[in-house]
Amino acid sequence: MTKIFNLEEIKEAVKQINLISGIENGFIAFSEGKVTVPPVGEMLFDEPPGEVHIKYGYVDEDDVYVIKIASGFYDNPAIGLSSANGVMLVFSKKTGELLAILLDEGYLTSVRTAVAGAIVAKYLAPKSIEKIGIIGTGIQARQQLEYLEKVTDCKDVLVWGRNKKHAKEYAVEMNKKGFNVSVSSDTADIGRNCNLIITTTSAAEPVLIDKHIKRGTHITAVGSDTSEKNELESLILAKADLVVTDSLEQCRSRGEIFQAWINGLISDSNVVELGNVIKDKSFHRANENQLTVADLTGVVIQDIQIAKAVYRYLNENSK
Amino acid sequence: MTKIFNLEEIKEAVKQINLISGIENGFIAFSEGKVTVPPVGEMLFDEPPGEVHIKYGYVDEDDVYVIKIASGFYDNPAIGLSSANGVMLVFSKKTGELLAILLDEGYLTSVRTAVAGAIVAKYLAPKSIEKIGIIGTGIQARQQLEYLEKVTDCKDVLVWGRNKKHAKEYAVEMNKKGFNVSVSSDTADIGRNCNLIITTTSAAEPVLIDKHIKRGTHITAVGSDTSEKNELESLILAKADLVVTDSLEQCRSRGEIFQAWINGLISDSNVVELGNVIKDKSFHRANENQLTVADLTGVVIQDIQIAKAVYRYLNENSK
């Protein structure tokens, strides 16, 4: 019997579950080659512009497989809808039965991305965080900051966005949630004042420049998921003591690492996969002077782990 | 708001809808290049043996896209479950919203395959059908016969199956549904007595041999969907006046046409796509002496059309 859970139930489950440990275990299994990830399915649309991705796979030793459908329709906000949408399906790997449908409307994709940001900060952010810098003012800018609460007590935040009004709205909204957010006039200011910076834009030209970054900073870039987008000047990656990716395979074709690589500023051998960072202490931050960068393009193991965790929680706790 | 329909509702809808015309229109659009069909997604499992296919696409001028997940777990019957399972999802191509989930458990895949068989018979079966031959005794052997009722009045049937007990059960069951089924001792007998023959097996060696087939017969093979399976001796295709495929692309890599082609007995130019048969009368049966063969490996346009039709019916008629 297929169980169907709506967005309200899913949001409640997300509040109750320790997603960090589940997704950490997923990254470790992924880096150990214990996760099967077939090629992503894709459909692109013109009128109106939109895209759909079908991501699926399983942890080899698990008894379930997960299929996620996630879409982006960029004209949606003009008609009052979110551009992102989606659904996650959990199946039995023993019988093919559809165990659960998570009608998350894209919410879990956003959460699992934010959880990955928190995991990275847990291992790579400086011990003493002066100020958190947030670049971008969208859903990820909000979610990343909220999930950082799981790994740091710092509430002081500088935000920058191309659209000043959106940046002000962001500050008002996040201040209500207990943060102390100021709007920054430029990203140079963020580089000078923050030692934990998260970039969440779809920029095609770098929004963070090497000369503004202090030693001892950790930067996580979550905005770029294509071969065109680019948030960080490649020189930052070249100067970093450690560059981390969620997927060695994906970073060869998209994201910040890809940009630095085609600019001839880093080589494959300088990059460590997040699963290996989590399990190997020698890759954790060693001192307050290191410059570290993580480039997250998103991998299906995050979807698998969050879908499983939400399904198991709701299966046990729903009426 | 996503609508969710269960198997019982879906079965009721299927009874009410004219699936033949909807799927015919789909085949025509497909053959005219008006359907977008990305590569099929696949996962294969070992313990227990199973496979999952993700098929998806859309008619270019439509406002929806469809994703179908269909699985086969071959040890399921031992624990009282059907080996086939699945679900179909209908999304808005304008916004990405999930309009409907059809919890069909694989049923609609089985129906759309049977409907394709009926469509083929409508255009290629002889006017006067002496007896219908059914080879195989599974779900498709049942469904194909039931859907032939839409295009012929002939109720006289010979069935053959590797397992005699299953063949007898088949006869008893289909006789209750108004057919007059006898069990045949071999397939030669079917070739000699039937001029409309449907093969529904997963045979790896031909179950129908050229020397047993009469002129004036139409044969539809629905069992083979891989490069290994083979139900018809290739000489039958070589001697046929017309060989029809549901997909010119697929028949180059699987099914009966692929077998005849690697045996050097037919060439690409002898094969006509079903959509072209439907819309061009010159490909319809011209006389009672023609030998015709259709090889159906299954295309996603069938899934798209049946999912749309069932969704639209249930959306208008359910509470």
In chain B, which residue ranges form alpha helices assigned H by DSSP?
Answer: 7-16, 19-31, 107-124, 139-148, 164-176, 187-193, 234-239, 255-262, 274-279, 300-317
Q: Which residues of B touch A74 (CB under 8 A)?
A: none
Can you tell me the distance from the alpha carbon of A254 to that of A221, in angstroms, rounded to the nearest whole number?
A: 12
Can you tell me the distance from the alpha carbon of A54 to that of A272, in angstroms, rounded to the nearest whole number?
A: 27
How large is the average pLDDT for residues B60-80?
Answer: 96
- Residue from the list B2, B36, B67 with its beta carbon closest to the beta carbon of A103: B2
Q: Which residues of B touch A79 (CB under 8 A)?
A: 95
CB contact under 8 A, A89 and B71: no
Hey, what's the torsion of the CAs at B253, B255, B257, B260, to 10 degrees? Answer: 90
Query: Tokens in use for A305?
Result: 């782990």
Residue type, A228: E
Q: How far is B135 from chain A (nearest CA, A)?
A: 28
The A-side interface with B (CB below 8 A) comprises: 2, 4, 36, 38-39, 41-43, 45, 48, 50, 52, 54, 56-58, 65, 67, 69, 71-73, 76, 79, 81, 85-87, 89, 91, 93-98, 101, 103
CB A76 within 8 A of CB A68: no
Query: Tokens in use for B30?
Result: 């497909």
In chain A, which residue ranges form alpha helices assigned H by DSSP?
Answer: 7-16, 19-31, 107-124, 139-148, 164-176, 187-193, 234-239, 255-262, 274-279, 300-317
CB contact under 8 A, A45 and B95: no
- Per residue in A148-164, pLDDT (tens digit) is 999 999 999 999 999 99
CB A158 within 8 A of CB A189: yes
CB contact under 8 A, B50 and A101: no
CA A41-A44-A48 angle, 5° bins: 145
pLDDT of residue B237: 96
Query: Tokens in use for A125?
Result: 């952010």
Mean pLDDT of chain B: 96
Q: What are phi and psi of B4, to 5 degrees?
A: -120, 125
CB A237 within 8 A of CB A260: yes
Question: pTM of the predicted model, to two decimals?
Answer: 0.93
Query: Tokens in use for B21?
Result: 């015309």
- Is A158 exposed, middle or buried, given 0-12, 13-18 or 19+ CB atoms closer than 10 A? buried
pLDDT of residue A285: 97
pLDDT of residue A268: 76
- Per residue in B207-222, pLDDT (tens digit) is 999 999 999 999 999 9
Cα B148 to Cα A45, A149, B106, B152, B197: the distances in Å are: 38, 64, 20, 6, 11
CB contact under 8 A, B56 and A45: no
Cβ neighbour number for residue A253 with a 10 Å cutoff? 13
Q: Which residues of B touch A98 (CB under 8 A)?
A: 69, 85, 87, 103
Q: Which residues of B touch A73 (CB under 8 A)?
A: 94-96
Q: Which residues of A touch B52 (CB under 8 A)?
A: 65, 91, 96
| Domains of chain B: residue spans and CATH | 3-108+301-317 (3.30.1780.10), 115-299 (3.40.50.720)
Q: Which residues of A touch B91 (CB under 8 A)?
A: 52, 69, 71
Q: How far is B189 from chain A (nearest CA, A)?
A: 38
The DSSP element (H or E) to which A59 belongs, if any, is: strand A50-59
Residue type, B263: N
Map A98-158 to HEC letters: EEEEECCCCHHHHHHHHHHHHHHHHHHCCCCCCCEEEECCCHHHHHHHHHHCCCCCCCEEE
Cα A186 to Cα A144, A158, A204, A209, A219: the distances in Å are: 20, 10, 17, 11, 17
- Per residue in B80-93, pLDDT (tens digit) is 999 999 999 999 99
CB contact under 8 A, A41 and B45: no
Rg (CA), chain B: 19
Query: Tokens in use for B77?
Result: 């019957």
Query: Tokens in use for B153?
Result: 């009045």
Mutation for A interface: B74, B101, B107, most A CBs within 10 A: B101
CA B58-B61-B67 angle, 5° bins: 15
- Complex confidence, ipTM: 0.92
Q: Which residues of B touch A4 (CB under 8 A)?
A: 4, 101
Q: Which residues of B touch A71 (CB under 8 A)?
A: 91, 96
Cis peptide before B126 (omega within 30 of 0): no
Q: Which residues of B touch A62 (CB under 8 A)?
A: none
Hey, what's the torsion of the CAs at B251, B256, B258, B263, to 10 degrees? Answer: -160
Scored b (16 or more CB within 10 A) or e, B47-63 reads eeebebbbbbbbbeebe
The B-side interface with A (CB below 8 A) comprises: 2, 4, 36, 38-39, 41-43, 45, 48, 50, 52, 54, 56-58, 65, 67, 69, 71-73, 76, 79, 81, 85-87, 89, 91, 93-98, 101, 103
How large is the average pLDDT for residues B124-131?
Answer: 97
Can you tell me the distance from the alpha carbon of A99 to that of B75, in angstroms, rounded to the nearest whole number?
A: 18
CB contact under 8 A, B94 and A73: yes
Mutation for B interface: A95, A97, A101, A109, most B CBs within 10 A: A95
Q: How far is B117 from chain A (nearest CA, A)?
A: 27
- Residue from the list B50, B57, B65 with its beta carbon closest to the beta carbon of A96: B50
Is the per-residue pLDDT at B200 higher than 70? yes
- Residue from the list B36, B50, B87 with its beta carbon closest to the beta carbon of A98: B87
Q: One digit per residue, pLDDT tens: chain A, 319 residues?
A: 899 999 999 999 999 999 999 999 999 999 999 999 999 999 999 999 999 999 999 999 999 999 999 999 999 999 999 999 999 999 999 999 999 999 999 999 999 999 999 999 999 999 999 999 999 999 999 999 999 999 999 999 999 999 999 999 999 999 999 999 999 999 999 999 999 999 999 999 999 999 999 999 999 999 988 888 999 999 999 999 999 999 999 888 889 999 999 999 998 778 999 999 999 999 999 999 999 999 999 999 999 999 999 999 999 998 6
pLDDT of residue A91: 98
Can you tell me the distance from the alpha carbon of B36 to that of B60, in angstroms, rounded to the nearest whole number?
A: 6
Q: How far is A63 from chain B (nearest CA, A)?
A: 10
CB contact under 8 A, B96 and A73: yes
Q: Which residues of B touch A91 (CB under 8 A)?
A: 52, 69, 71
Can you tell me the distance from the alpha carbon of B193 to that of B213, in angstroms, rounded to the nearest whole number?
A: 9
How many CA atoms does the CB half-sphere of B206 hold within 13 Å? 16
Can you tell me the distance from the alpha carbon of B186 to that of B195, in angstroms, rounded to the nearest whole number?
A: 16
Mutation for A interface: B1, B91, B102, B304, most A CBs within 10 A: B91
Is the per-residue pLDDT at B319 higher than 70? no
CB contact under 8 A, A85 and B96: yes
Can you tell me the distance from the alpha carbon of B272 to that of B283, in angstroms, rounded to the nearest whole number?
A: 8
Crossing angle of helices B107-124 and B300-317, in 10° steps, is 110
How large is the average pLDDT for residues B173-180?
Answer: 98
Is the per-residue pLDDT at B227 higher than 90? no
Give the residue from B299, B155, B146, B295 showing the smallest Cα distance to B232: B295
CB contact under 8 A, A89 and B85: no
Cis peptide before B48 (omega within 30 of 0): yes
CB contact under 8 A, B38 and A39: no
Q: What are phi and psi of A183, to 5 degrees?
A: -85, 130
Mutation for B interface: A45, A51, A104, most B CBs within 10 A: A45
CB contact under 8 A, B38 and A43: yes
pLDDT of residue A319: 66
> Nearest residue of B to residue A78 by CA position?
B95
